[in-house]
Amino acid sequence: MRKKMVAGNWKMNLSLEEAMTLSGELIEKLDHHRRDGSPGKENKLPDVVLFPPFIYLTRIREFFPDTKGVAVGAQNCHHEESGAYTGEVSAPMLSSAGATHVLIGHSERRAQFGEDDQLLARKASRALKNGLTTLFCCGEKLPERESEQHFDVVEKQLQSGVFWMKEEQLSHAVIAYKPVWAIGTGKTASPAQAQEMHLFIRRLVEKTYGKAAAGNIRILYGGSCNANNAGELFAQADVDGGLIGGASLKPRDFFQIILAAAS
């Protein structure tokens, strides 16, 4: 049985003070839930991962000691181990700062920073070598969906970004399906559209790695997922949680989404 995951991608938002306040409110809600929940209920909460801007990583990590059940990750990393790359952040730096996860291939990185499939594969490889769980993002743009190329686009992104991994590496990867037309637009994929694509992705994993790996890999949905639609999306057989942007900045909404993934 796959454990669900809810991840919050803060993108380039929040001052440090706002980030600390948000984290404090989230801890309070989680603690309250655990205190008032029936015994064993804590185990049923999904894995929760926060992706703050690099500069807040250590502070936010300190806020969530291991017992709080919230991991911290970075929104990006460089593809080299170290060196003369002014302004960049490497995977070993992230690990040493307490990050356990990293996002690779977000559509905003692809579109605004020209990150292509080849570079993303190198980033994913570097992240995995440094022990970071890698959330690899894929998803089609609106014209690609309208011209019914969405399956081909996602397959190509995964072929180059993920399917080079050895099975052991794949066990430290999570796939996030994030249709670009749904990101920050308020336009969510319908539960049926999400399920259709997630099942397609799981079958691709099965073709490459076999049934067990396909059964184990988590596939998250992202794109205007919010407190109102999360329940229905997460109820789909192949949707293992969500990668949340805008709604992760509102503690009440984000907590509702976490609860929607609790079993």
Q: Does 225 bind ligand PGA (CB under 6 A)?
A: yes
Q: Does 26 bind ligand PGA (CB under 6 A)?
A: no
Q: Does 246 bind ligand PGA (CB under 6 A)?
A: yes
Rounded to whole angstroms, how far apart are CA atoms 201 and 159?
Answer: 11
Residue with the shortest CB distance to ligand PGA: 245
Nearer to ligand PGA, 63 or 177 (CB): 177
Q: Does 102 bind ligand PGA (CB under 6 A)?
A: no
Binding-site member from 9, 130, 133, 229 for ligand PGA (CB under 6 A): 9
Binding letters toward ligand PGA, positions 171-210, x by CB under 6 A:
-------x----xx--------------------------
Q: Does 241 bind ligand PGA (CB under 6 A)?
A: no
Nearer to ligand PGA, 45 or 225 (CB): 225
The footprint of ligand PGA on this chain (CB under 6 A) covers a number of residues equal to 13
Q: Which long-range contacts (CB under 8 A, 24 or more apart) does 20-29 make?
A: 20/59, 20/60, 20/63, 22/249, 22/251, 23/50, 23/60, 23/63, 23/64, 24/63, 25/251, 25/252, 26/70, 26/251, 26/254, 26/255, 27/63, 27/64, 27/68, 27/70, 29/251, 29/252, 29/255
Q: Does 105 bind ligand PGA (CB under 6 A)?
A: no
Q: Does 243 bind ligand PGA (CB under 6 A)?
A: yes
* The length of the chain, given as a count of residues: 263
What crossing angle do the helices spanning 251-260 and 16-36 adopt, rounded to 10°?
Answer: 40
> C-alpha angle 252/257/263, rounded to 5°?
130
Positions touching ligand PGA (CB under 6 A) are 9, 178, 183-184, 222-225, 243-247
